[in-house]
Amino acid sequence: MRILVTGANGYLGQGIVRSLLELGHTVVAADFGTTHVDERAEKVDCDLFAVEDPFAFFGKPDVLLHLAWRDGFVHNSDAHIEDLPKHYHFIKKMAESGIAQIAVMGSMHEIGFYEGSIDEHTPCNPMSLYGIGKNALRETTALLCKQHGVVFQWLRGYYIVGNSEYGNSIFSKITAAAHAGKKEFPFTTGQNQYDFVDYPVFCDQVAAAVSQKSIDGIINIGSGKPEKLADRVERFIKENGYDIALKYGAFPDRPYDSKAVWGNGDKIQRIMRETSHA
């Protein structure tokens, strides 16, 4: 298939583009700049929201995979609300143009404070501007896809583990600190349990999800099981051979972070089984 990936130059985009290419798709990679994108992709440097007819401009793709999002790790940035109309109008133009399938990257932060396993029926009560923005885009995209007969997929991402120092996750920050020669890393109590998924697995799951149409709606991208933050971070330090120790209790736990939360993995596991048999 011909798949348009927006935000392709970002931390997630780079790996997802590679995974899609490995599955044999033609990838149109769009971003303000595409310097870090795999050379096998068709690169398009542009301001996505300024394109009048994006469906034609990007060569009539079969699938839109919309990853583009500003300030994803700054949970109360005004950008999450200010940019929302731009995302809506871009997706609306694509839906009206006759694209067959629209997939958008979501976040477990749409849910808000919750304990237990999250599935597509779990109610959303977001507690940050990031969660509110993503949740609003999910609802509007679902509506647009229904109106125009487009396959709708909402890829709800969980906690990604990767050793790139350029991301904004706890793992990226520890990597950057270790590379800078720091011996101690300020940390919370680390007792909360989350759904952790390794970066390459995350990218492969997203690529597999958009490579098929039969399983749609909200799809959790994650491991499907909870693990204590302290345990996963200690394991990450060991896996990468970093000479750095966690300073527990330096930061308080955020009030809107759940004590134990993870995604129901039934849908993505079915997709991955079907992909491996294909």
In tens, the pLDDT along 126-184 reads 999 999 999 999 999 999 999 999 999 999 999 999 887 776 788 989 999 999 999 99
The answer to whether 248 is a known catalytic residue is no
- d(C-alpha 60, C-alpha 44), whole Å: 14
Residue 229, CB-side half-sphere exposure with 13 Å CA sphere: 22
- What pLDDT does 99 receive? 98
| pTM greater than 0.85 | yes
Residues in the chain, total: 278
Q: Which helix (H) or strand (E) holds 186?
A: strand 184-186
Name the token pair of 269. Answer: 């596991």
3-class secondary structure, 32: coil
Q: For residue 272, what is the enclosing H or E element?
A: helix 266-277
Location of each CATH 3.40.50.720 domain in the chain? 2-160+195-223+263-277
Q: Which residues make beta-bridge pairs with 116?
A: 261
How confident is the model at residue 278, as a pLDDT?
63
Contacts of 264 (CB under 8 A, 6+ apart): 117, 118, 119, 220, 224
- H/E run at residue 107: strand 101-107
Question: In angstroms, rounded to a whole number, what is the distance separating the alpha carbons of residues 168 and 179?
Answer: 15
Q: What is the pLDDT of residue 253?
A: 80
Q: Which of 88, 114, 130, 194 is catalytic?
A: 130
Helices (H), 187-243: 199-210, 229-239
pLDDT of residue 16: 98
Nearest-angstrom CA–CA distance, 254 and 24: 42
Segments in the chain below pLDDT 50:
none
- The arrangement of secondary structure in 2-160+195-223+263-277, i.e. its CATH architecture, is 3-Layer(aba) Sandwich (3.40)
